[in-house]
Amino acid sequence: MSADAIQRVIGAAMMATAWLAATLLCAAAQAPSSWDMCNNEGKAYPPDIVIYGCTAVISAGGSNPQNLAVAFNNRGLAFRAKGEVARALADYDEAVRLDPGYAGVFNNRGVTLHDRGDLDRAFADYDEAIRLDPKNATAFTNRGIAYRDKGDLDRAIADYNEAIRLDPRHATAFTNRGNAYREMGDLDRAAADYSEAIVLDPMNAVAFNNRGAAYLIKGDLDHALVYYSEAIRLDPRYGRPRPRGCGLRGGDPDQSQIRQRLHQPRRCLSG
């Protein structure tokens, strides 16, 4: 092989090596950090990846207590998403210990306790979240749902009203206030709230479903079908078989059966 040919081979090899090194460096630069995975901006990562990232942050130590509290809170959210309630609560407890002024973690622990049916402790956490952050519309909404579950619709509506005052675009507050009005028999105000929730969040399957139920209760089967169909399109779980007598055909459905078509209130978590 001539000297020129050897030099060309060497040059090509060096270029390939440089390209590979640049590619690896680029990939390393684009790889998410542990904090990126733990913070999960835009909900880009599944719970297992969030848990991995937060665990790495926690294991590394060295962060100030407030940052570690965020890592424990976020890992708790991921554990809850996986249905691992005990581990979620343990992480929330540690976040509270590290940062007793962290309103969001009180809200999140309240939601998880609420899920377990422990309303007294859930109320205590919602109250503390609101005390720490009186402008926390999410905590007001969740406490309203707790009052609704306790059967105190007046106080539930008062909390939903405050949530909407603080955040007029809080679709979940409108949905849940609509549920409370419906339970009080005020179908017109319930329908208005469901409609507003749909305007604010056109992907809100709960609001479409419950708006359909309000039409059904009023005997407007055509509009009920339209809203139920959209709820099913957005969330196929709404297409599950309904109780007998709760269909859109075959006579007037029984009111108690209609209520079974209404979705349970929606609780909100804090990131």
> Residues with Cβ < 8 Å from 131, sequence gap 6 or more?
none
Q: Domain range spanning residue 83?
A: 27-100
State pLDDT tens for residues 137-171: 999 999 999 999 999 999 999 999 999 999 999 99
Residue 56 maps to a domain: yes
Q: What is the pLDDT of residue 241?
A: 54
Extract the tokens encoding 93.
């407890």
Total-model pTM: 0.79
Calculate the average pLDDT of the chain: 83
> Residues with Cβ < 8 Å from 191, sequence gap 6 or more?
178, 211, 214, 215
Residue 44 maps to a domain: yes
Total tally of structural domains belonging to the chain: 1
Residue 206 maps to a domain: no
Q: What is the CATH number of the domain that holds 95?
A: 1.25.40.10
Q: How far apart are CA 237 and CA 241, in angstroms?
A: 10
Q: What is the pLDDT of residue 145?
A: 96
Question: Of 120-134, 206-220, 235-249, which gets the smallest average pLDDT?
Answer: 235-249
